């Protein structure tokens, strides 16, 4: 007689790695031995410091939250098909995290004996489990994460397109140490006074051993060694050491391979140089609490606008950490933009549910300006618009009023989250920026065929749009109409070219910075208007002139131009480098002064910073000269 429950479990497991690489016979054996567990909301599966269960778990339905020791923040959320409780089994040590049901959940419990059998007999399953452990991904071979792991899991490289654990690990830069002749009692008192879980034994400032809380429990509390002995009698030696730029993934792999919970950070990564810090497993947990993929999951499960506000603050902390660790600025921009889009999308979901009825027409929410270009790193103004599908004339007013009401709810929520209202009201809650597809087509056609200073300014904002929510086909049709109008009225590009030259290269004849001469920011340098915008405007203009669609970010536009015009490849790549430097500098300034980072006090710049910024200005001058020649703009002066 068939075991129908085992068959259902078999059908579920075969859809998820590592079970999908097992033979039918192996998988059915597991399915027959699975325990099915039911948890009500807020019920514990295991607690921090609890002795490990001889099982690991996979979520069948619901969601399980993984929390830090005192449950002050959630480290991760496990959904259907996610594995948890695996790390402790591999480490063969007590749980260092707490698992608790976020909602009503059904969980499959799988014996550790079966885990051992899987690892020892199936290479693919073995590789999956180790990679999962090392990267904090329950499914490191999913389509979303394809390419972020390699066959040799000892090497993980940065990807600008995926949320991998490539950032440098944050370690304690004030390690507690003692000489090798220190008495264990004194070392234990020092650890207690300093509230640390380890002490490094050093000789000539170089690490030669380490003692952890576990050593005190297993070697002293058990009576194996006298507390009056020297620390050298119980220290673990030699230490495992790494350089300061060790990534989170590398740290976890090292801890797994050596079955340890602490790594020494030294000058050159070897134990023969001076000790600089200590990295513990707890430090890794703290980093994971602000992991981008975890934040995205938090957004998806948010229940209130206040939840989104809290998440956005965590995103700002993530940005600070990325900047401190010198992560590539384009990678940072991609991560922050993806989370901003997810937050906006969730705010739209909340707002739609608050309406009396669901939308009766398709619509699209567009992010404009810096968010549309995936370059919004700091808290800045909202720039957005809404386009809805064409409806009959008699229904247009009613439909527009519905979407205006919806847009007001959305922009209000974004304001609460931390995105200020646009002073110029370039938001979808403004009737001018909440239009049907045909109205948007007419609007753009008017801007293009009857350009003036205001219309050109609007074009520079609205040409940088990105679909955040809703129907992409509406925007595709709108884009086709825009390019058709440009092709039919090519002189518009000349007007756009003149606009792109409104801020010349930001150095005077005597190679001095051009600063503000009056107002609130007198004697300060406008990094946005004088340095970033000339590059942003140039990239947009040149891409539009080549009829290149679906490329919105400044870096991607220059990369596209380098492909389309290999004769100017060097210039475009120099523009990319300059833009990256300027964007990072603005972000650093914004974080330092808790503002937009737009204006710089030149008196705060050292000579190196001044030279670095000045080096970015030559590509601006060169790209503006190219635009002047290409669009014959000398006649427009």
Structure confidence at residue 373 (pLDDT): 92
CA angle 574, 578, 583 (to 5 degrees): 150
262: helix, coil or strand? strand
Structure confidence at residue 145 (pLDDT): 35
206-212: strand order across its sheet: 177-179, 198-203, 206-212
Residue range 4-145 forms a domain whose CATH class is: mainly beta
Structure confidence at residue 292 (pLDDT): 76
- Yes or no: say if 244 and 273 are a contact pair by the CB < 8 Å rule: no
Give the span between the Cα atoms of 561 and 556, in whole angstroms. Answer: 9
Summarize pLDDT for 554-563 with one digit per residue, the tens: 999 999 999 9
Contacts of 382 (CB under 8 A, 6+ apart): 411, 414, 415, 419, 420, 421, 422, 426, 427
Residue range 177-287 forms a domain whose CATH class is: alpha beta
Give the span between the Cα atoms of 614 and 610, in whole angstroms. Answer: 6
- Reported in sequence order, the residue ranges of 261-356 that DSSP labels E, i.e. its strands, are 262-266, 275-280
Structure confidence at residue 402 (pLDDT): 97
Structure confidence at residue 4 (pLDDT): 79
Structure confidence at residue 413 (pLDDT): 96
The fold of the 290-474 domain, in CATH, is Beta Polymerase; domain 2 (3.30.460)
What is this structure's pTM?
0.64
Structure confidence at residue 142 (pLDDT): 37
Q: Structural domain boundaries of the chain?
A: 4-145, 177-287, 290-474, 498-636
Q: Return the closest-CA partner of residue 586 out of 421, 377, 334, 331.
A: 377
**498-636: in CATH 3.40.800:** no
Structure confidence at residue 338 (pLDDT): 86
Structure confidence at residue 191 (pLDDT): 94
78: helix, coil or strand? strand
Give the span between the Cα atoms of 531 and 543, in whole angstroms. Answer: 19
Q: Return the closest-CA partner of residue 14 out of 35, 28, 2.
A: 28
With 0-12 / 13-18 / 19 or more C-beta atoms within 10 angstroms meaning exposed / middle / buried, residue 521 is middle
Tokens of 541: 């203009």
Summarize pLDDT for 474-526 with one digit per residue, the tens: 999 998 999 899 988 888 999 999 988 888 777 654 457 777 778 888 888 89
Residue ranges of the chain with pLDDT lower than 70?
A: 1-3, 90-92, 115-116, 118-169, 249, 253, 256-257, 285-291, 293, 507-511, 635-637
């Amino acid at each position: 007689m068939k075991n129908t429950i085992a068959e259902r479990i078999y059908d579920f497991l075969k859809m998820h790695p590592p079970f999908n690489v097992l033979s039918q016979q192996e998988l059915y054996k597991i399915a027959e031995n699975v325990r099915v567990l039911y948890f009500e909301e807020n019920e514990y599966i295991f607690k921090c410091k609890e002795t490990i269960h001889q099982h690991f778990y996979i979520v069948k339905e619901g969601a399980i939250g993984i929390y830090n020791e005192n449950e002050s923040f959630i480290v991760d959320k496990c959904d259907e098909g996610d594995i948890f409780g695996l790390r402790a089994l591999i480490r063969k040590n007590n749980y260092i995290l707490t698992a608790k049901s976020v909602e009503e959940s059904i969980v499959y419990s799988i014996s550790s004996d079966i885990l051992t059998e899987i690892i020892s007999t199936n290479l693919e399953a073995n590789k999956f489990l180790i990679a999962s452990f090392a990267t904090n991904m329950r499914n490191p071979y999913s389509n979303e994460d394809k390419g972020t792991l390699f066959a040799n899991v000892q090497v993980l490289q940065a990807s600008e397109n995926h949320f991998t654990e490539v950032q440098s690990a944050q370690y304690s830069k004030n390690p507690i140490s003692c000489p090798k002749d220190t008495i264990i009692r004194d070392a234990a008192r020092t650890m207690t006074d300093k509230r640390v879980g380890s002490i490094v034994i050093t000789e000539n400032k170089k690490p030669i051993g380490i003692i952890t809380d576990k050593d005190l429990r297993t070697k002293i509390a058990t009576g194996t060694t006298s507390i009056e002995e020297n620390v050298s009698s119980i220290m673990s030696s030699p230490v495992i050491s790494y350089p300061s730029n060790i990534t989170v993934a590398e740290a976890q792999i090292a801890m797994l391979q050596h079955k340890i919970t602490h790594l020494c950070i030294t000058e050159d990564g070897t134990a023969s140089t001076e000790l600089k810090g200590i990295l513990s497993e707890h430090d890794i947990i703290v980093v994971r609490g602000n992991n981008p993929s975890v934040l995205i999951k938090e957004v998806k499960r948010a229940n209130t606008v206040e939840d989104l506000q809290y998440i956005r603050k965590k995103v700002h902390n993530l940005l600070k950490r990325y900047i401190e660790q010198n992560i590539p600025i384009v990678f940072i921009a991609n991560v922050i933009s993806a989370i901003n889009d997810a937050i906006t999308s969730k705010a739209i979901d909340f707002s739609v549910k608050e309406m009396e009825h669901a939308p009766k027409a398709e619509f699209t929410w567009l992010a404009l300006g810096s968010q549309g270009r995936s370059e919004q790193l700091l808290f800045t103004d909202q720039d957005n618009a809404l386009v809805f599908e064409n409806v009959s004339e008699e229904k247009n007013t009613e439909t527009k009023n519905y979407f205006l009401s919806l847009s007001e709810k959305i922009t209000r929520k974004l304001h609460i989250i931390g995105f200020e209202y646009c002073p110029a009201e370039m938001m979808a809650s403004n009737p001018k920026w909440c239009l049907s597809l045909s109205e948007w087509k007419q609007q753009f056609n008017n801007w293009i065929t009857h350009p003036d200073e205001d219309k050109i300014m609007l074009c520079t904002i609205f040409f940088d749009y990105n679909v955040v929510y809703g129907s992409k086909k509406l925007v595709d049709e709108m884009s086709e109409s825009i390019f058709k109008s440009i092709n039919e009225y090519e002189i518009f590009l000349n007007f756009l070219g003149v606009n792109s030259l409104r801020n010349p290269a930001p150095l005077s004849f005597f190679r001095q910075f051009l600063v503000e001469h009056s107002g609130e920011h007198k004697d300060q340098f406008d990094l946005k208007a004088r340095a970033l915008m000339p590059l942003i405007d140039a990239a947009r203009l040149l891409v539009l002139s080549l009829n290149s669609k679906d490329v919105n970010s400044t870096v991607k536009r220059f990369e596209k131009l380098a492909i389309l015009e290999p004769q100017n490849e060097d210039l475009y790549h120099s523009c990319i480098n300059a833009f990256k430097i300027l964007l990072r500098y603005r972000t650093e300034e914004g974080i330092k002064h808790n503002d937009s980072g737009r204006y710089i006090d030149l008196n705060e710049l050292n000579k190196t910073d001044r030279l670095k910024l000045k080096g970015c200005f030559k590509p601006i001058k060169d790209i503006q000269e190219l635009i002047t020649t290409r669009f014959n703009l000398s006649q427009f002066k």
